[in-house]
Amino acid sequence: MELICPAGSLPALKAAVDNGADAVYIGFKDDTNARHFAGLNFNDRKAVKALEYVRAHNVKLFVAINTYPQPHSWSRWKDAVDQAAGLQADALIIADMGVLDYARERYPDLNLHLSVQGSATNIDALAFYKKTFGIKRAVLPRVLSMAQVKQVAAHSPVDLEVFGFGSLCIMAEGRCHLSSYVTPESPNTCGACSPASAVRWEETEKGRESRLNDVLIDRFSEGENTGYPTLCKGRFQVEGQTYNALEEPTSLNTLQLIPQLDEIGVKAIKIEGRQRSPAYVEQVVRVWREALDNYKKTGSNFTPRGEWLDALANVSEGSQTTLGAYSRPWQ
């Protein structure tokens, strides 16, 4: 299985390449990608440098153009496709049908991957994207159980890539508007969820409060671990109870599922985190590379080493990891 690693900057890209990525995915410095955060991503010059670095190390470069253009901004997405094609990127990761169509018509030789933001969770949806746009691969949303991934993999008309590690969206990606309901930005339109510009922290008598566009997302007592106020991870009131009504702040870690994912025919594992530091990328990629290499030798006898799990737990959001929807403890 290929290891697909995130890079929000040139140092992160180098860390990914140096530690064993098979492919690195990047985005341009605007709202055409789903990690449109200040100080992140690649301008023209940096993108060329990124390309030189991956080529020198025989690693692939994928470009994510995975948000949804509206009429007033359509040309920006077109430009992004042109730029990625100009770089001769190994694949473009796209969500919007209009953008997929443009890329296919204009650059028929380009490899197109359906982004997780395209929200294809079943074989019929995948068949539509293959038939209409000739996609070669799809990244599956993080809502499917292991049995369901297996089912899709057995009949999928295209190669499949799944998330292995990182932040965990509990909503079907590409179909979540929680962020734009509360703030001016959403993943689909702007490439941002619960944007930092809308976040406010306040020390109050009741505790440390996190707000998103003035809406209270969470309140922490002294000594409690504070987390970024992502909307779905707040503590809210439902029928008189205050709790993480949608999701607890945990990270996805599927190291122990490597043999199963390989056996069912998954072609690539994706590490989330273009918004994370080069140190994070280095740590996570190193562990996953070691684990995948070890699996190649040990096969079905593979078991994750304690030191790997510790290393990954150290960089995880909320310092807790979960198998997410793959194992569904809540099922």
Partner 1 sequence: MKLSLGPILYYWPHQKVADFYQQAIQSPADIIYLGETICSKRQELRTPDWLELAAALLESGKEVVLSTLALIEARSELSSLRKICDNSGCLIEANDIAAVELLSEKKLPFVAGTSINIYNAHTLQILHKAGLQRWVMPVELNRTTLKNILSDAQKMGFLDKIETEIFSYGRLPLAYSARCFTARAKGLQKDDCQLRCIDYPDGIPLHTQENQSLFTINGIQTQSGQIYNLLDEYSAMAEIGVDIMRVSPKSTGTFEVLEQFSQAILGETISAQLIASDVKNNEYCNGYWFGQPGMDTA
Positive or negative torsion for Cα 105, 109, 113, 115 = negative
Distance in angstroms (rounded) separating the CA atoms of residues 286 and 170: 26
Tokens matching residue 107: 């650059």
Distance in angstroms (rounded) separating the CA atoms of residues 191 and 195: 9
How near is the Cβ of 160 to partner 1 at its closest, in Å?
Answer: 14
- Which of 215, 309, 311, 323 is in the footprint of partner 1 by CB under 8 A? 215
Draw the binding track, 169-188, toward partner 1 (x: CB under 8 A; -: no contact). Answer: -xxx-xxxxx-xxxxx-x-x
Total residues binding partner 1 (CB under 8 A): 68
Q: Are 35 and 275 in contact (CB under 8 A)?
A: yes
203/330 with CB nearer partner 1: 330
How near is the Cβ of 230 to partner 1 at its closest, in Å?
Answer: 13
87/143 with CB nearer partner 1: 143
60/208 with CB nearer partner 1: 208
Report CA-CA distances (Å) from 76 to 71, 80, 82, 99, 120.
Answer: 10, 6, 10, 11, 24
56/238 with CB nearer partner 1: 238
Segment interacting with partner 1, rule: CB under 8 A, options 12-20, 63-71, 255-263, 299-307:
63-71
How near is the Cβ of 227 to partner 1 at its closest, in Å?
Answer: 15
232/284 with CB nearer partner 1: 232
Site for partner 1 in 69-128 (CB under 8 A): 69-72, 74, 95-99, 101-102, 119-125, 127-128
Following DSSP, what letter does each residue of 128-162 receive, concatenated? HHHHHH--SEEEPPTT--HHHHHHHHHH-SSEEEE
Positive or negative torsion for Cα 53, 55, 60, 61 = positive
6/174 with CB nearer partner 1: 174
φ and ψ at 78, to 5 degrees? -60, -45
Distance in angstroms (rounded) separating the CA atoms of residues 331 and 26: 34
303/320 with CB nearer partner 1: 320
Distance in angstroms (rounded) separating the CA atoms of residues 273 and 256: 20
- Which of 239, 297, 300, 306 is in the footprint of partner 1 by CB under 8 A? 239
Q: Are 189 and 96 in contact (CB under 8 A)?
A: no
Which residues in this chain contact partner 1 in the complex, by CB under 8 A?
68-72, 74, 95-99, 101-102, 119-125, 127-129, 131-132, 143-145, 148, 151, 170-172, 174-178, 180-184, 186, 188-189, 213, 215-219, 232, 234-239, 241-242, 245-247, 325, 328, 330-331
